[in-house]
Amino acid sequence: MKRKVLEKTLKELGCQFLSHSGNHDRWVTKNGKFLWIPRHADINEFTAKAIIKQASK
């Protein structure tokens, strides 16, 4: 999955970008849970699905 598509999906779920850190970006869900998103052009499908699942809880 492309990173841009994942970021758009996270925004639709109510997540907000917080900061850059090393090779990952830090996001926060609407419930206050932190997510670390790899800063790569292509993200593994399994990783992307796991991130979306965490964001939707």
Q: What is the pLDDT of residue 27?
A: 97
The contacts of residue 32 (CB under 8 Å, 6+ apart) are none
Each domain of the chain, given as residue ranges in start order, spans: 3-55
Residue range 3-55, CATH number: 3.30.920.30
Q: What is the pLDDT of residue 33?
A: 95
Per-residue pLDDT tens over the stretch 3-36: 999 999 999 999 999 999 899 999 999 999 999 9
Residue 53 · residue 27 · CB < 8 Å: no
**pLDDT at residue 56 greater than cutoff 90:** yes
Residue 23 · residue 37 · CB < 8 Å: no
Confidence at 57, pLDDT banded by 50, 70, 90 = confident
Q: What is the pLDDT of residue 5?
A: 97
Q: What is the pLDDT of residue 54?
A: 95
